[in-house]
Chains A and B, each alone.
Chain A
Amino acid sequence: EIVLTQSPATLSLSPGESATLSCGASQSLSSSFLAWYQQKPGLAPRLLIYDASNRATGFPDRFSGSGSGTDFTLTISRLEPEDFAVYFCQQYGSSLTFGGGTKVEIK
C-alpha cells in the first residue's frame, strides 16, 4: 500500500499570505493519479486538484498543484477567508489512499 505523508499537520497563516502544503509518497506515483481535496467542517471533501496540477471546477487560479514521483505540492497564493480548511492528498494508482491532511488555520 502506498503511504502518503502530508506536512505540516497545521499551517497558521493570515489572509493574503501564501500556503505551501506538501504530500510525500512512499513509492513513486504516476502524476495522473494524485489528487488534492479541500474539506470544511461538517462537509464532505471536495475535489480541488486532479492529475497533480489540474484544478477542478469551481476553484480559482490561486490554487495550484505541482510535483512528480514521490513529492507533490499544493500552493495557495493570497489566502482568502474561505480557503481556511483541511487539505488532503490522495493517490489512486495503486489502490486508493489518502494523506493525513494539513489544516490551514487563521493566525
Chain B
Amino acid sequence: QVQLQQSGPGLVKPSQTLSLTCAISGDSVSRNSTTWNWIRQSPSRGLEWLGRTYYRSKWYNDYAVSVKSRIIINPDTSKNQFSLQLNSVLPEDTAVYYCARGQWFYYYAMDVWGQGTTVTV
C-alpha cells in the first residue's frame, strides 16, 4: 500500500522560505510511470496545483505559472522522497499543502495523497 508522509513546519514568517517534505513508502520516486505533485488548498484560492517532479530517463519539473518564480520541487532518491521549497512567502500562501502521486494508469490523475500540512504565513 502506497503512503505519503508529509513533514515540515506549520508556521513560516513572511519573506522566508516554506519547506516541506513528502516521504514515499510502497513506491519509488524514480518510477517511470509516476509523477510527484504538490497541491495546496485555501478558502480564497481553492485547490491549486503547484508543480510536480518526475523521472523519464532524466528528471523533469513542471510548475504552475502562479508560483513559477518562487518554487523548487526536488526529488531525493536516497531517501525516496520529494520536497517543496516556496520562497519569499506572503500571507496569501497560507494554506493546507498536500503532496500527491500521479500515476500513468489513471492518466496521471492523483490517486494517493499525503495527509496535508497546514502552513500559516
Contact = CB atoms under 8 A, between A and B. Distances in A.
Contact of A32 (B37, B46, B48, B107): B107
A35 to B, nearest CB: 4
B92 interface: no
Chain B, interface size category, equals: 20 to 34
Given A35-B106, A88-B47, A92-B108, A46 B64 contact: no
Interface string B37-73: 1000000001111001000000000101100000000
Interface stretch (B9-17, B26-34, B76-84, B110-118): B110-118
B108 to A, nearest CB: 6
Contacts of B62: 95
Contacts, number: 59
B75 interface: no
Nearest to B110: A47
Q: Which 4 A-B pairs have the closest CB atoms?
A: A44-B113, A35-B109, A98-B47, A96-B49
27 contacts: A1-B65, A32-B107, A44-B98, A44-B113, A44-B114, A44-B115, A44-B116, A46-B113, A47-B106, A50-B106, A50-B107, A51-B106, A51-B107, A56-B106, A56-B109, A56-B111, A57-B111, A90-B109, A92-B107, A92-B109, A95-B64, A96-B49, A96-B64, A97-B49, A98-B47, A98-B48, A101-B47
Interface of B: 37, 46-49, 52, 62, 64-65, 98, 100, 102, 106-111, 113-116
Given A44-B100, A45-B47, 19 more contacts: A32-B107, A33-B107, A33-B108, A35-B110, A44-B113, A44-B115, A45-B98, A47-B109, A47-B110, A51-B106, A51-B107, A56-B109, A57-B111, A92-B107, A92-B109, A96-B37, A96-B49, A97-B49, A101-B46
